[in-house]
Chain A
C-alpha cells in the first residue's frame, strides 16, 4: 500500500473532503489512545490531521478541579456548561477543517447520548464535513481497569490522590455515566464499532477512500503497554567487538525490561513481569548475529524480515563509497539521492502496521536507514529533523560498533501531539511534563575542564536523541540541534546525578576505546540551511516531503549529506583525534563552512 497519497488541487488528499471522526464511548475505553495513533498514522501518510480532546477544553475553560456533578449527565444544571465546552471544541474543529486547511479532525469526547450525537452530526454535515463515528466498546472489566491504572490516574485530574483511591473515584465516574450511554443504532450514520480493542468490528456505511483507510488502521490497533527498542547491528569489520556488542545489548535490554516492569508495578499496580520480548532483525547476517544471545539463552522468538533491509545498494553492495565513485561515476549521485529513503518508507508500511499490532515488547535490529524511518513514524516531527538529527546524535563519541540504543515508549501518555504552529506553545498535560522532565534530567551540564581536555570517557550519546522526541516545537528542535556543538558534548563529565541502568552500554570496555569522531557537523550544516530556508510549520509526511523535494536542490544537499556521513565513516576511520580542543574545533568549523 503506497504511503504516498497525492494532493488534489484543493490541497487535500484524494477528493476525500474533510472528515471528522467522532469518538463515542465510556471513559477508559481507549478512545484517546486510538485517536492519537490514528493522527500519527494519518500524518505519516500525508493527511493533515489533528485531534481535539474534550477533556483539555474542559480543563481550559473550567480549571482542573471540576465537581463530580459535571460528569453527571442527568444533572441539568451542568448541561449548559457541558454544551458550552463542547460547542467551543466543535467550533475549533470546524475552523481547522474549513479555514485551517486540515483534512481530518478527531473529536475526542464521550458523546454518549444519541440526541447529542445527532446534533453534532447535523452541525458538521451543514458545513460539508463528513462525520464518521467510532464507538469504543469494552466488555472486559480487566481491560478497563488496566486502562484506568495506566492512563487515567496519572492525568491532571488525579494528581493529588494515590493510585487506588484514584481508581475507585474513576470507576465511580464511569458508573455515573453508564445509564445515559446509548450505543449507536442509527443505520444512516457512518460508524465503526470496535469491541474489545478490535477483536470484533462492525462497520456501517463507510463512504470514501479515506474512511476505509481509517477502518483499516483501526483494525490493527491495540492498547497494550509495550516498549519498542531500536538498535543497529553490531559492526561487521571487527569480529570481536560485534559479538561483545551483541552480548551487551542482550544484557542491557533484559535488565531494562525488568526495571520497566518493576516501575510500572510500583506506579500503577499493573504486573508486566511476564512480558515476552520479540526480536525482529533484517536478513543481513550481522543483524541476525547481533540477536544471537537472545536466541541462545532466552528462547525469545527472533524473526528475520526481508522488509527490514536497508537501502538496497544493488551492485554497489560490498564496495566502499570511494570504490563506488571510481567504478560508477554516473551512478554515484544516484546512489546518494534521497528517493531511496522514500522507497524504504513505502516498503516499511506493513512493518509499521505490524508494529502497531504487536502486544509484546519488541527489539528491532536493522540498518540505520530503516531505523530512521521507523523512528520518524513515531516522532511527531517531519522528516528532515529526524533524519539528520539522528545522523548527528547517534555517533557522538561511541565505540566503533555504534552502541547507541534508543528507546521509545508508546504508552498512551506519551507522544502528545505538538501544536501545528511552532510559535504557540502547545498545552502539555501534566503526565507529559513529567515525562519530559525525566528525559531532560539526562542532559548534564558541561564541565569546562573536561571540555578543554576533551575527555570522552562518558559519552552522553543518547542525550540529543532523547531530546529530539521531547522538544515541544519544530523551531526549538531545529535550533537546538544547531546550537549544540556535538564536539562539545563529547567532553561531558563523568560525574552523574544518579546512576542509571543504561550507563553500562555507554561504558566502553577499555580495549575498545578508539573513539572516532564522526562528522556530525554535516548534519548540523544541513539543519542550519534548512532552518534558514524553511521552518516547517506543520509536520509533512515523510514521503510527501521526499517527493516534493525531489526536484529541489535541498534534496541534493540532504542526500549528499546523509550519505556523506556514511562515506566518511567507511573511509577515514583513523584520521580523527578524539580531542575537542579549540584548534580542532575551529578547523572542523572551517571545514564545515567550506562544504
Chain B
C-alpha cells in the first residue's frame, strides 16, 4: 500500500484480504503500524513522525523491516498467497527497497496507492478511524485528535513522492494501481497476472463513503409454516404483519437517507417489500437456493424419499448439491456480481432468503465454508451492517412478531 495517512489504506487492505479469502486465496495483512505500536508503544504524538527526528526514523525503519521479514516467513509457510504490506511507503527509496527485497525472495510486487486531495474526506476519515485507534486511546477531544493527526500528515507530506504519472519513467516499470479521490479516477500500470487484475477489479469497485446495508429475510411464508423447502408461496398472516411493520423500523434506522431495496424474483420478497416507499429492484441472483427435486417438500419428506441425499447433505452442507438444484458453493458463485454491486452502491436494503443471506453475511464477516451453512438468520429480523475501519459491525433488530424457526443445527 502507498499513501499518506488517513487515505483509507488499512480499510482497503482488510477489504481486499476479505475478498481474496472469499475467493479461496491465502491472504494476510501486515500492518506496519501494529508493529510500531508493539515495539515503540502507542500514544505517541506527532513529533515521532517528524522526518527530521533521527532516532524515530531508525525505529520506524526497524519496524518496517521487521514486518517485511515476517511477511517473507509467512510466504515460506504458505507457498502461495497474497500478503498485503500496509504502510505509507511514501518515498521512492522505500518502495525501491521493498521491490528489491521482494525480488530476492521471488515475490511479485504490486503497489496500490490511495490518493485523496479532498480535505473534507480526509478529515472525515481521520475522525472516524483514528479516534478509535489505539494511538489515541483515552483522548476524549476529537479536535485534539484531528490537529495532532493533521500534523502527522504534514510530516509525511514533506517527503511524499507519489507514484508517477505517465511522464516519469523510472517507476513506470512497476506494477501499480492508483485510486484518485475515492475512485473517480483510477490509474493502472503494468498489471500482468490474473490475480492482480482481479484485485484491481475489486479495488475499482469499492468506496469509503459511509452508508449502511440492511438485510432481512422475507416475512414468514406459508411454506415456512409447514416447514417446506423452496417454492414460491405467499406470506402468512404473520408475514404480512411483518411487511407492514417494516417501513417504520427502516425510517427509524435510516431517517430520510435515500434507500434502494433489492428483492429476489420470488413473490414472498415482493410482498415483504410492498410497504417500503423506495426504489425497488429485482435480482434473480438473490433467489433462494434451488432445491431441485426437493422443492416443496418438508424435511421429513426429503428424509423419506431421498435418504442418501439427506444424509450426504448433513455430511457436507456447503458442497452438497441438490439433484436438479444447487449447492451453497453455487450460490456463492452466483452472488459475486451482487456483492460487487453492493460494494459500489450507497444505502441498500436486501430482502432475500436464508441461504442467500448466509452467503452474503459470510462474505462480510469473513466466515468460512464450514460454518456458513449453519449461520442463524432468523425470520422477522433486520440486520444492519456498518463498515468500521477494520471490519464490519452487525446490529440486529428483531421485530416482535411471531415466526417459526427454520434453523437446522449442525448434526
Query: Interface residues, chain A, CB within 8 Å of chain B?
Result: 1-2, 4-9, 14-15, 195, 199-206, 208-209, 212-213, 215-216, 219-220, 330, 334, 346, 350, 353-354, 357, 550-551
On whether the beta carbons of B188 and A202 are closer than 8 Å, the reply is: yes
Q: Does B127 contact A (CB under 8 A)?
A: no
Is B334 engaged at the interface, CB distance under 8 Å to the other chain?
Answer: yes
Are B166 and A6 in contact (CB-based, < 8 A)?
no
Whether B188 contacts A200 by the Cβ 8 Å rule is: yes
Enumerate B189-212 residues with CB–CB distance to A below 8 Å. 189-192, 194, 197-198, 200-201, 204-205
B166 near A334 (CB under 8 angstroms)?
Answer: no
The one of B185, B283, B324 in contact with A203, judged by C-beta atoms closer than 8 angstroms, is: B185
Contacts of B198 in A (CB 8 A): 1, 216
Whether A201 lies near B201 (C-beta < 8 A) is no
In the complex, B370 has a CB within 8 A of chain A: no
Cα-based distance from A209 to B342 in the complex (angstroms): 10
- Whether the pair B340, A203 counts as a contact (CB closer than 8 A) is no
Contact A2 B197 (CB under 8 A): no
Q: List the A side residues contacting B344 at CB < 8 Å.
A: 208-209, 212
| Distance between B245 CB and nearest chain A CB, rounded to angstroms | 28
- The answer on a CB contact under 8 Å between A2 and B337 is yes
B257 at the interface (CB under 8 A from A): no
CB distance from B391 to the nearest CB of A (A): 24
Contact in complex: A219, B200 (CB < 8 Å): yes
In the assembled complex, which residues on chain A have CB atoms less than 8 Å from the CB atom of B337? 2, 5-6, 14, 209
- B185 proximity list for chain A (CB < 8 A): 202-205
B191 to chain A: which residues have CB within 8 Å? 201, 219
The reply to whether A212 and B204 contact each other, CB–CB distance below 8 Å, is yes
Is B283's CB under 8 angstroms from A8's CB?
yes
Q: Determine the distance from Cα of A541 to Cα of B191 in the docked complex, in whole angstroms.
A: 28
By Cβ-Cβ distance, the 7 closest A-B pairs, closest first, are A201-B188, A6-B284, A203-B186, A216-B201, A2-B333, A6-B285, A200-B189
Minimum distance in angstroms from B229 CB to a CB of chain A? 17
**Among A203, A209, A346, contact of B188 (Cβ-Cβ < 8 Å):** A203
Interface residues of B (CB under 8 A from A): 166, 172, 184-192, 194, 197-198, 200-201, 204-205, 265, 281-285, 308, 323-324, 333-334, 336-337, 340-341, 344
Docked complex Cα distance between A551 and B188 (Å):
43
Q: How far is the CA of A195 from the CA of B165 in the complex (A)?
A: 12
16 residue pairs of the A-B complex, CB under 8 angstroms, read A2-B333, A2-B334, A4-B334, A6-B285, A6-B337, A8-B284, A9-B282, A195-B166, A199-B190, A201-B189, A202-B185, A202-B187, A203-B185, A204-B186, A205-B184, A208-B344
Tell whether, in the assembled complex, residue B186 and residue A9 are in contact, meaning their CB atoms are under 8 Å apart.
no
A34, chain B: closest CB distance, angstroms = 15
Chain A residue at smallest Cβ distance from B172: A200
A203 close to B308 (CB less than 8 A): no
Nearest Cβ on chain B to A367's Cβ, whole angstroms: 21
A15 to chain B, nearest CB (A): 6
Give min CB distance, B228 to chain A, whole Å.
Answer: 19
Q: Which residues of B contact A216 (CB under 8 A)?
A: 197-198, 200-201
> In whole Å, how far is B160's beta carbon from the nearest beta carbon of chain A?
21
Is the beta-carbon distance between A353 and B188 smaller than 8 angstroms? no
Residue contact A6 to B187, C-beta cutoff 8 Å: no
The chain A residue with its CB closest to the CB of B290 is A550
Apart from A200-B166, A203-B185, A357-B192: 11 A-B pairs, beta carbons within 8 A: A1-B198, A4-B333, A8-B283, A195-B166, A200-B188, A202-B186, A212-B340, A213-B201, A220-B194, A350-B194, A551-B324
**Which A residues are CB-close (under 8 A) to B333?**
2, 4, 346
Q: What is the distance, in angstroms, from A520's C-beta to the closest C-beta of chain B?
A: 29
How far apart are B111's CB and chain A's nearest CB, in angstroms? Answer: 14
- Are A199 and B189 within 8 A (Cβ)? yes
Measured CB to CB, the nearest residue on chain B to A5 is B337
Name the A residues within 8 Å of B187 (CB-CB). 200-203
Q: How far is the CA of A212 from the CA of B200 in the complex (A)?
A: 10
Within 8 Å CB of A7, what residues of B? 284
Q: Is the CB of A219 within 8 A of B340?
A: no
Question: Contact: A14 with B341, CB < 8 Å?
Answer: yes
Considering the chains assembled together, what is the distance between the CA atoms of A208 and B340 in angstroms? 10
Query: With a CB–CB cut-off of 8 A, which chain A residues contact B190?
Result: 199-200
Q: Is the CB of A353 within 8 A of B197?
A: yes
CA gap between A212 and B344 in the complex, in Å: 11
For B189, list chain A residues within 8 Å (CB): 199-201
Contacts of B166 in A (CB 8 A): 195, 200
Known contacts A9-B265, A200-B189, A204-B184, A212 near B201 by CB under 8 Å: yes
Chain B residues near A551 (CB-CB < 8 A) = 324
CB < 8 Å neighbour of A206 from B197, B204, B336: B204
Residues of A within 8 A of B324 (CB): 550-551
Question: A220 contacts which chain B residues (CB < 8 A)?
Answer: 194, 197
Contacts of B341 in A (CB 8 A): 14, 209
Q: What separation, in Å, do the CA atoms of A193 and B336 have in the docked complex?
A: 27
Residue of A nearest to B323 (CB): A334
Closest residue of chain A to B285 (Cβ to Cβ) is A6
Distance of A346 Cα from B333 Cα, bound (Å)? 9
Which chain B residue has the least Cβ–Cβ distance from A213?
B201
**CB neighbours of A209 from chain B (8 A):** 205, 337, 340-341, 344
Residues of B within 8 A of A14 (CB): 337, 341
Q: How far is the CA of A257 from the CA of B329 in the complex (A)?
A: 42
CA distance A200 to B192 in the complex (A): 11
**Which of B172, B184, B197 is in CB contact (< 8 Å) with A219?**
B197
Q: Is the CB of A212 within 8 A of B282?
A: no
Residues of B within 8 A of A213 (CB): 201
